[in-house]
Amino acid sequence: MIILFPTELEAARLRKLRPDLDIRICGIGAVETATEVARILRTERKPLLLCGIAGAYDHTLKKGDVVAVTEERFAYLSTGYDRSYLASMVVEGLPMVRSNTVSHCSQEPNGAQIENMEGAALFALAQAEGVRCGEIRAISNYVGEERGEWNIELAIELLTKTILTLNIEEI
């Protein structure tokens, strides 16, 4: 399995604790993620697990909560052009959520509980190429909050702890 993170900041703790894992940086946003996933898929067909932080629309989710994304959509496409993508791997034992992939913060939720900037790109490419993929996210903020109110450190800490409890080889 290849574990993808948008940034080295999100990956650093896990990389230090589990240097044996195949951890890669996909970049921030859908274009960066699509580019990196396309590079990977040219030579490898391993399952892909995207991990990172996210903003929550749903205030029943607490900062630091780790969730499994079951469905992604590009939130910035017009109605009629938007499309949902389903995870082909779902990490069991975590709350399951729908997510919007956004190009900037604060899109309308339209049924999603969280937002991020990379997930739909991964799901779309993996689906097109027949490669298994999944996604887990830790809540760092509520959508619309000022950046100073985000708790990125807590989210990364709890995301790392959660990943360490997973049996990565069996997802």
Concatenated DSSP letters of the chain: -EEEESSHHHHHHHHHH-TTSEEEE--SSHHHHHHHHHHHHHH----EEEEEEEEES-TTSPTT-EEEEEEEEETTSPTTT--EEE-SS--TTS-EEEEEE-SSS----TT-SEEESSHHHHHHHHHHHT--EEEEEEEEEETT--GGG--HHHHHHHHHHHHHHS-GGG-
Per-residue pLDDT band for 75 (boundaries 50, 70, 90) equals confident
Query: How far is Cα 168 from Cα 171, in angstroms, rounded to an integer?
Result: 6
Residues 80-120: pLDDT tens digits? 767 788 999 999 999 999 998 887 666 677 889 999 999 99
| Structural domains of the chain ordered from first start | 2-170 (3.40.50.1580)
Residues 138-169: pLDDT tens digits? 999 999 999 999 999 999 999 999 999 987 76
Per-residue pLDDT band for 59 (boundaries 50, 70, 90) equals very high
